[in-house]
Structure 1
Amino acid sequence: MSILAPGSDSGGRRPNSTPADCSSTHTCDASPGDEHVQLSIAVAAHMSTASFVVTPMSRGFVAEVSGADVRSLDECGVTVLRRALDEHRVLVVRGQSLSAADQVEFSARLGELYRMPYVRPLDDHPDVIAVLKEADEVKVSTFGSWWHADFSYLDEPPVYSVLHAVDLPPHGGDTLFADMIGAFEALSVSMRRVLCRLCIMHSGHIYGRRLARDGSRGRMRGVQISTGHEEAEIERSHPLVRQHEPTGRQALFANPTYCTRLANMSVEDSKSLLDFLYAHCGRPEFTWRQVWREGDLLLWDNRAVTHLAVNDYDGHRRLLHRTTVCSEKPVAAR
């Protein structure tokens, strides 16, 4: 079922669509029989002039937004979009023609902009990083090509990430997402109880001294990463299962890029459980592939998903602009 923002023409509605009135709450089932998938929109008590459709794409995890121009959304439209993002964890907003300045302006309406450590931003837009791989960077890692939640090793990791397609290869370069809420809820009750009692150590070691010494990141020219930072190697403890405050649900908060071990355990003792969890979260029923189109704007909630970039487009240029919004200290599941 689709949700239409206020101002949508009823004549253009898809079957079973529901107007997303800013003064009321609406729910919809994205998949028959999936009692968890609901889109709840309860926002400011005035009508929006925006007109767009939010359509769940995959068991309520991921939704497509069509008919929106994020540059011209009023406050109610932005609120509807943010609520949809909280519910679906990933939004694909189609057909956006944005400059870097446009992206910054829109991102700032979602919340306070968050400047990313260890990655050089655009010279004229310090809140934007270029996720770039040039055509001649062959047999080189792609930035973000391992499962991760953005900067999860920080004391207050970022909440939302916003990624806009600027220059796409003719094929490949997709982005994969894993639903950490769905993956957690699929575990047995006994396993969930065990996991909720655990914490996990996160570290930004990939920006630390070891990689600066061996130069393993130096081959990437498109994304300018700064390494050799001693503070990046500090381990921080976060709950293995965190509370997703907007929905009241719980999400696994672990990823193989930044997580080193379970708290109060060695790397060796942690390995079996973490390997199981990473394999579980990567199962097809919990993952979704973003096949990029020109003009796509992708928004995701780092509290509830992990992602990776697929490095399969050697010989072609790929450029996306990324902004990051808000930060939040992870709270243990209740």
Structure 2
Amino acid sequence: MSANPFFFARPPVATSNRPVASAHFNIRPITGALGAEITGINVATAGAPAIADLRAALIRHQVVVIRGQALDPAALEQVTLRLGSFGHDPYIRPMPGFSNVLRLLKEADERHPDVFAEAWHSDWSFLDTPPAFTLLYGHDVPDWGGDTMFASQIRAFEALSPAMVRLLEPLKGIHSARRAYAPAARSLMADRLPNMDIVVSESAMATQLHPIIRTHPESGARALYVSPSYTIGIDGFIEQEAQALLGYLFQISVDPRFTCRVRWEQGSLTIWDNRSVMHLPIGDYHGARREMYRTTVAGTEPVLEPCPD
């Protein structure tokens, strides 16, 4: 092994981000790990075969960015329903007249540079059935800044040693919304996110157990399923043990080798698979306005399937 202190062993990568051609749109991978930009499709009018190809690309690349769309909240709802039924979005009031669309808004004159959900997470993992997909549409975006980062939890899982996998397989993470949405956060949210319609609640103190490794229900791939935002412990572990192990998993889960970065343009629709990625909105656009429309597609209970013999 090299004596170079910056050398690290590269684990074998079992999957590829190489695109599969579609007759309905053009596709270009973003990085070697995950993500793809898609052009040449209007998601509001595309036929069923094109939507089927789009869903397949989403499962394969984990994040897809579809440029040049013109979607109002009603159209975004219709596009969402082409991928599945609406997911449940707690703790944020939806837009008036659109019960399944959230408006993520930061005005240019806000005092604090904070942005909504600026920490690595998989959406609503504290629910018993977290969403499968999230759709986020750029209605009004800054000229620069406000990118979103994504990290492949499939790639992170592939980097684990066999011994670590054996340790993690029977373990369940404790997920909770308490850090963001419990009553103690009320004044902080009101001060730092004044244009987000957030509803804090005692229900955010509840916990939900999910496997630390989950099996993707469509691709069969295994992925890590923990996040610094919502995973507060490990079932059966004392806090010091849990935080030591989770600290390592949080670190490897966002290794730069397993990430991509999406730059927003007005009219971009980004869809990601919460079953295989985490994401991080970047709050580097203080003094600029950013307005996004967001929906989710319902998912299923996270499970870990046994490896085939």
User: How high is the TM-score relative to the length of structure 2?
Assistant: 0.90
Aligned to 1:253: 225
Aligned to 2:174: 201
After superposition, where does 1:1-334 map in structure 2 within 5 Å? 36-37=15-16, 51-205=24-178, 206-212=180-186, 215-219=187-191, 220-227=193-200, 229-334=201-306
Please state how far the C-alpha of 1:333 moved relative to its aligned partner.
4.2
Please state how far the C-alpha of 1:199 moved relative to its aligned partner.
0.7
Aligned to 1:18: none
Please state how far the C-alpha of 1:40 moved relative to its aligned partner.
8.9
Please state how far the C-alpha of 1:239 moved relative to its aligned partner.
0.1
Deviates more, 1:136-145 or 1:241-250: 136-145
Q: CA RMSD in A?
A: 1.9
One-letter amino acid matched to 2:214: R
Please state how far the C-alpha of 1:258 moved relative to its aligned partner.
0.8
What count of residue pairs does the alignment treat as equivalent?
293
Identical positions, percent: 36
8 Å contact 2:58–2:64 — kept in the other structure?
yes
8 Å contact 2:19–2:28 — kept in the other structure?
no
Deviates more, 1:139-148 or 1:160-169: 139-148
One-letter amino acid matched to 1:143: F
Deviations 1:135-164 (A, max 9, x none): 111324211100111000000001100000
Please state how far the C-alpha of 1:54 moved relative to its aligned partner.
2.3
SS in 1 for 2:100: coil
In structure 2, distance between residues paired with 1:250 and 1:167: 36
Deviations 1:55-108 (A, max 9, x none): 222225111111010011111111111111111110011111111111111111
Aligned to 2:6: none
In structure 2, distance between residues paired with 1:221 and 1:141: 10
In structure 1, distance between residues paired with 2:174 and 2:24: 44
One-letter amino acid matched to 1:95: G
8 Å contact 2:168–2:212 — kept in the other structure?
yes
SS in 2 for 1:110: coil
Higher relative contact order (CA 8 A, sep 6+): 2
In structure 2, distance between residues paired with 1:329 and 1:299: 20
SS in 2 for 1:96: coil
SS in 2 for 1:127: coil
SS in 1 for 2:236: coil
One-letter amino acid matched to 2:46: L
8 Å contact 2:33–2:258 — kept in the other structure?
no
Structure 1 pair 60/310, CA: closer, same or farther in 2 (3 Å)? closer
8 Å contact 1:164–1:295 — kept in the other structure?
yes
In structure 1, distance between residues paired with 2:305 and 2:182: 30
**Structure 2: which 5+ runs fail to align?**
1-11
Deviates more, 1:202-211 or 1:250-259: 202-211
Structure 1 runs (4+) deviating above 6 angstroms are 38-41
One-letter amino acid matched to 2:215: Q
One-letter amino acid matched to 1:195: L
Deviations 1:1-58 (A, max 9, x none): xxxxxxxxxxxxxxxxxxxxxxxxxxxxxxxx965116797xxxxxx9x731122222
In structure 2, distance between residues paired with 1:204 and 1:221: 20
8 Å contact 1:241–1:333 — kept in the other structure?
no
Deviations 1:262-283 (A, max 9, x none): 1112322211111111111122
Please state how far the C-alpha of 1:195 moved relative to its aligned partner.
1.4
